Amino acid sequence: MNIAIIGPSGAGKGSHAATLCARYILRHVSTGDLFRHHVQTRSALGILARRYMAQGDLVPDEIVEAMIEEWADKLPPAKGVLFDGFPRTTDQVRFLDELLGRLNRAIDAVVYLQVSDEEIVRRLSGRLICRVCQAPYHTLFQPPQNASVCDRCGGALYQRPDDSPEMVRTRLRVFHRTTGPVLDHYAAANKLIILPGEGTSGEVEARMLGALDALQNRLARFATREEAAAISAVPGAPVRPAPAARPTVDIVLLGGPGSGKGTQAERLCAELKLLHVATGDLFRDNLRQATELGRLAKTYMDRGELVPDDVTDAMVEERLARPDAHDGFILDGYPRTTQQAVALTEMLTRLRRRLAGVLYINVSDAAIVDRLSGRMICRSCQAPYHQLFKPPNKPGICDGCGGELYQRADDNPETVRARLVTFHRQTEPLIDYYRPAGLLHEIDGEGDVAGTCGRSLAAVRNFPTMKSPSATTAAAL
């Protein structure tokens, strides 16, 4: 069998993995454990992930996917798989389907452990984690033998800062938003099993064993799409929310790696007098300034974990709420997934704003490979250069700050092509999300920078917001 067990953090997904794997001859894979293993053992992928984290960057999805793919390629043919907490998004669903298809496998069932939000808050509020081996404990349900000391390795136990009731509720909102489409996908494929995740550990384990026995004997009862919809989440805000409190020029910029988004964003912001919000810079700023969100993000990075979407979402919302974003912004690097697009719509609704438009800088894969193969980055200020299109005045030295220029390890042609696969898988649903609302404007990104900028400016000038006489940026045009 090849199965996945999903549910919110604290649902107990990993608690029964050893029993299930032993009984059904399954190989257990937890993406969190896999990521930590690569980082701690300094594998090639782990070193690449550490470089992103050291630079204050979010680790790209394709690196985690490459870790899973490498692991799957070594899987013995006679062994099934138990995916623990994966897939969590529709993008990960597509990745997993493609990966298993290449290995002549398929998911037989996805088990969703259903636990109420109130119970999850109660469970996580008392959770303790070992700083050394990451073993979980609970002040009520699974206390350590000696207070604050891990039974396994003697390491110190601590409560994660994101296990406060307020943060847990925020994470649950993100979980429901991202998991609803996953449940619907597997319900439509007749592969979703919903099990109650509350009760004693023995009761939950008995339900799981019963469900997998039935699956093995072709007697499993799969959930309907109506049953999946009943538990899946809070409805998201519409793509176009109610009219904004005032007209603003709020723009999302989409484009593949090396499409020139950053350069276009800088030129458009200078021309339109808008704020440029690059999520990579935003993430680094929060880490450098040790903001509350930056400290929270660092706790994940220090544990060798990926920073979850709810932290990134909160950073974006806090930035867009500042006074210098009053008249409008160009958002570069966010959203990357449909789930983040829904989150953006919801945060703009709370801020009483709405998107003016989405610019998609379209560049062919071949052109992107050529561009990135010659790209160089400043180690100090992250300014981009290119050996052909934008060379520095002095070879190897940044014009702006004098820092050293280097080529990123993931800017070789093979890695770029892998990143493009991930980009297309994530971006096509975004295009489908924004196009029906009349927000998407596709820009030809090939040719010189000035030509692309001219086409982008022409598209923005046709936004309805820009034609409003009360728009605060109209005078800038």
Q: What is the pLDDT of residues 7-63, one digit of tens each?
A: 998 898 988 998 999 999 999 999 888 998 998 899 988 988 888 887 777 788 888
- 36 within some domain: yes
> Which CATH number is 45's domain given?
3.40.50.300
Does 222 share its domain with 303? no
Confidence of residue 166 (pLDDT cuts 50, 70, 90): confident
Mean pLDDT of 388-401: 91
Does 355 share its domain with 452? yes
Does 205 share its domain with 338? no
What pLDDT, on the 0 to 100 scale, is given for residue 477? 35
Q: Among the three residues 168, 201, 231, which one is the final residue of a domain in this structure?
A: 231
Does 329 share its domain with 224? no
Q: Is 419 a catalytic residue?
A: yes
- Count other Cβ atoms within 10 Å, centred on residue 194: 22
Confidence of residue 68 (pLDDT cuts 50, 70, 90): very high
- 59 within some domain: yes
Confidence of residue 242 (pLDDT cuts 50, 70, 90): low
- 146 within some domain: no
What pLDDT, on the 0 to 100 scale, is given for residue 463? 86
Q: Which of 88, 267, 336, 455 is catalytic?
A: 336
90 has a pLDDT exceeding 80: yes
Mean per-residue pLDDT of the chain? 88
What pLDDT, on the 0 to 100 scale, is given for residue 238? 62
Q: Which of 123, 177, 353, 419 is catalytic?
A: 419
Mean pLDDT of 162-166: 83
Q: Which of 13, 177, 267, 375 is catalytic?
A: 375
What pLDDT, on the 0 to 100 scale, is given for residue 71? 94
The answer to whether 187 and 157 have CB atoms below 8 angstroms apart is: no
Per residue in 293-305, pLDDT (tens digit) is 898 888 888 777 7
What pLDDT, on the 0 to 100 scale, is given for residue 469? 46
What pLDDT, on the 0 to 100 scale, is given for residue 63? 87
473 has a pLDDT exceeding 70: no
Confidence of residue 239 (pLDDT cuts 50, 70, 90): low
457 has a pLDDT exceeding 80: yes
Confidence of residue 244 (pLDDT cuts 50, 70, 90): low
Among 5-14, 60-69, 185-194, 259-268, the range of highest mean pLDDT: 185-194
Q: Quote the pTM value.
A: 0.73
Between 464 and 189, residue with greater pLDDT? 189
Confidence of residue 467 (pLDDT cuts 50, 70, 90): low
Q: Which of 261, 354, 371, 455 is catalytic?
A: 261
471 has a pLDDT exceeding 50: no
Does 95 share its domain with 26? yes
Q: Is 394 a catalytic residue?
A: no
Does 32 share its domain with 81? yes
Does 211 share its domain with 303? no
**What's the chain look like in SS3?**
CEEEEECCCCCCCHHHHHHHHHHHCEEEEEHHHHHHHHHHHCCHHHHHHHHHHHCCCCCCHHHHHHHHHHHHHCCCCCCEEEEECCCCCHHHHHHHHHHHHHCCCCCCEEEEEECCHHHHHHHHHCEEEECCCCCEEECCCECCCECCECCCCCCEEECCHHHCHHHHHHHHHHHHHHHHHHHHHHHHCCCEEEEECCCCHHHHHHHHHHHHHHHHCCCCCCCCHHHHHHHCCCCCCCCCCCCCCCCCEEEEEEECCCCCHHHHHHHHHHHHCCEEEEHHHHHHHHHHCCCHHHHHHHHHHHCCCCCCHHHHHHHHHHHHCCHHHCCEEEEECCCCCHHHHHHHHHHHHHCCCCCCEEEEEECCHHHHHHHHHCEEEECCCCCEEECCCECCCECCECCCCCCEEECCCCCCHHHHHHHHHHHHHHHHHHHHHHHHHCCEEEEECCCCHHHHHHHHHHHHHCCHHHHCCCCCCHHHC
Q: How many domains does the chain have?
A: 2
Does 332 share its domain with 458? yes
5 has a pLDDT exceeding 70: yes
Does 470 share its domain with 352? yes
Q: Among the three residues 169, 198, 231, which one is the final residue of a domain in this structure?
A: 231
Strands 109-114 and 136-138: unpaired
Does 60 share its domain with 93? yes
What pLDDT, on the 0 to 100 scale, is given for residue 241? 60
Per residue in 412-437, pLDDT (tens digit) is 888 888 888 888 888 888 998 999 98
Confidence of residue 468 (pLDDT cuts 50, 70, 90): low
- 281 within some domain: yes
Mean pLDDT of 89-114: 93
- Name the least confident of 61-65, 298-302, 330-334, 366-370: 298-302
Which percentage of the chain shows pLDDT scores above 90?
Answer: 47
What pLDDT, on the 0 to 100 scale, is given for residue 91? 86
The amino acid at residue 133 is C
Q: Is 336 a catalytic residue?
A: yes
Mean pLDDT of 176-183: 88
Q: Is 408 a catalytic residue?
A: yes
Q: Is 102 a catalytic residue?
A: no
82 has a pLDDT exceeding 80: yes
Q: Which domain holds residue 451?
A: 249-374+411-476
- 355 within some domain: yes
What pLDDT, on the 0 to 100 scale, is given for residue 243? 66
Q: Which of 27, 240, 390, 408 is catalytic?
A: 408
332 has a pLDDT exceeding 60: yes
Which percentage of the chain shows pLDDT scores above 70?
Answer: 94
What pLDDT, on the 0 to 100 scale, is given for residue 475? 32
What is the spatial distance between Cα 165 and Cα 408, in angstroms, rounded to a whole number?
40
What pLDDT, on the 0 to 100 scale, is given for residue 52? 82
- Name the least confident of 145-149, 226-230, 342-346, 405-409: 405-409
Per residue in 143-153, pLDDT (tens digit) is 999 988 999 99
